């Protein structure tokens, strides 16, 4: 019912995406998509590439007059870096050449990809493995965001750790404070120390990882399923986030803390607030039994430092079989703020399928009608059987 694909290399002509399953009659805000692409390019610690690119979406199919048709959407984001003669000589799809890259970077796809695809030039691996590809994921995710927001479902993020600096514990946050921060952290004192840490890492030729939170508000009860493992919403979200290049851990609700927490303090007890069923906590992070439970979904994501260091790690030359420093390519010092934007996109892409599976609809109007009927039916069920209403 819903699927997407991306194609393109980091320094190739363009990134291409196909998004299939978005209902007809969704009015797209193109400026908002471009603004989201610009947010991915921001954040303290980004490299020189972000000064070259000016990402904007072009639609080739599936959109007419700014409105989705219900057919597959084809989108393009051009790589301006490709327009430089040096890069084009390397990456032209027909005539591209140049000396091969031979020294794999620890932590990157270079070595495993070279053996898997039998490539003697590591560039044939790293160009696709590069996080530049996430620009198209963000583009497609921004389309999904507008679909989900039409249903009242909103996703946002904030950075809570860079390197050894951690922000105050956050259950909720002011998104305006996040967007005003160079590191997308609403804790101003922590944000200043994060920036100092990035500067120190840059001076040392090093890189930094960190953590961010994703919060989903407005998701109705019952999205996802307990019927099969692949349908569990927590598995769907975690799998999508682990599909990002830099992500090494995903936690939902209490996350790793739940292993040291007794059952009496690990779950979210039910209570009545007048005629409504409520929760006094959200330790489950909005998901129980593989299904959304009506509370905000809260996910903590940990990302590694990027593997391209200006002070190169030890490696080998695969052609000459000699010790050699790892390949150095133009890169960033810290991508945690940008990774949070990519994670928003991955969550939106991951959510759209289960939402459409539950509510369906070939047009946006039909989906909204199905959502309204489902909500009313749930409320009537509890009102009839229990004398209460679902929150």
Ranges of beta strands (E only) in the chain are 3-7, 14-20, 57-61, 63-64, 67-68, 73-78, 154-162, 165-166, 210-217, 247-252, 270-273, 276-279, 287-288, 291-292, 297-303, 314-317, 322-325, 389-390
Give pLDDT, residue 31. 97
CA–CA distance, 147 with 22 (Å, rounded to integer): 8
CA–CA distance, 37 with 271 (Å, rounded to integer): 42
Query: How do the pLDDT tens digits run along the chain, 391 residues long?
Result: 899 999 999 999 999 999 999 999 999 999 999 999 999 988 887 666 556 778 999 999 999 999 999 999 999 999 999 999 999 999 999 998 899 999 999 999 999 999 999 999 999 999 999 989 999 999 999 999 999 999 999 999 999 999 999 998 788 899 999 999 999 999 999 999 999 999 999 999 999 999 999 999 999 999 999 999 999 999 999 999 999 999 999 999 999 999 999 999 999 999 998 888 899 999 999 999 999 999 999 999 999 998 888 888 899 999 999 999 998 876 789 999 999 999 999 999 999 999 999 999 999 999 999 999 998 888 777 665 544 444 4
List, in sequence order, every residue forming a beta bridge with 323; answer none if it has no partner: 316
Q: What angle separates helix 364-386 from helix 134-150, to the nearest 10 degrees?
A: 60
CA–CA distance, 253 with 316 (Å, rounded to integer): 42
| pTM (two decimals) | 0.93
CA–CA distance, 291 with 231 (Å, rounded to integer): 9
The domain ranges of the chain are 3-390
Do residues 6 and 133 touch, judged by C-beta distance below 8 A? yes
Give pLDDT, residue 53. 73
**Paired tokens of 388:** 């209460």
Q: Which CATH architecture has domain 3-390?
A: 4-Layer Sandwich (3.60)
Give pLDDT, residue 388. 47
Of 56, 59, 234, 27, nearest to 147 by C-alpha is: 27
**Paired tokens of 169:** 């514990």
134: buried, middle or exposed (CB in 10 Å: 19+, 13-18, 0-12)? buried
């Amino acid at each position: 019912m819903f699927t997407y694909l991306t194609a393109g290399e980091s320094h190739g002509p363009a990134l291409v995406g196909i998004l299939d399953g978005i209902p007809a009659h969704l009015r797209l805000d193109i400026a908002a998509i471009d603004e989201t692409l610009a947010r991915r390019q921001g954040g303290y610690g980004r490299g020189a590439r972000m000064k070259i690119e000016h990402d904007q979406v072009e639609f080739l199919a599936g959109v007419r007059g700014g409105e989705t048709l219900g057919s597959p959407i084809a989108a393009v984001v051009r790589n301006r870096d490709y327009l430089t003669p040096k890069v084009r000589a390397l990456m032209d799809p027909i005539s591209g050449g140049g000396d091969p890259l031979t020294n794999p970077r620890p932590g990157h796809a270079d070595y495993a990809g070279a053996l898997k695809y039998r490539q003697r030039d590591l560039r044939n691996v790293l160009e696709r493995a590069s996080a530049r590809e996430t620009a198209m994921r963000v583009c497609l995710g921004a389309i999904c965001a507008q679909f989900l927001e039409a249903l009242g479902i909103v996703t946002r993020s904030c950075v809570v750790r860079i390197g050894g600096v951690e922000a105050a514990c956050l259950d909720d946050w002011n998104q305006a404070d996040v967007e005003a921060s160079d590191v997308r952290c609403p804790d101003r004192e922590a944000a200043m120390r994060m920036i100092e840490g990035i500067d120190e890492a840059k001076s040392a030729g090093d890189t930094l990882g960190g953590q961010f939170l994703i919060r989903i508000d407005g998701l109705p009860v019952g999205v996802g399923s307990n019927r099969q493992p692949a349908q569990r919403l927590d598995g769907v979200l975690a799998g999508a986030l682990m599909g990002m290049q830099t992500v090494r851990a995903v936690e939902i609700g209490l996350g790793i803390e739940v292993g040291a927490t007794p059952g009496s303090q690990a779950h979210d007890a039910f209570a009545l607030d007048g005629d409504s069923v409520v929760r006094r906590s959200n330790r489950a992070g909005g998901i129980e039994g593989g299904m959304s439970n009506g509370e905000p979904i809260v996910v903590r994501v940990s990302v590694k430092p990027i593997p391209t260091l200006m002070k190169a790690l030890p490696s080998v030359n695969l052609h000459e079989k000699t010790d050699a420093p790892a390949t150095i390519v133009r890169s960033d010092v810290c991508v945690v703020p940008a990774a949070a934007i990519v994670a928003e996109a991955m969550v939106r892409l991951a959510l759209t399928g289960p939402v459409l599976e539950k509510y369906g609809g070939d047009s946006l109007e039909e989906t909204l009608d199905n959502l309204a009927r489902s909500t009313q039916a749930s409320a009537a069920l509890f009102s009839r059987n229990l004398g209460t209403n679902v929150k």
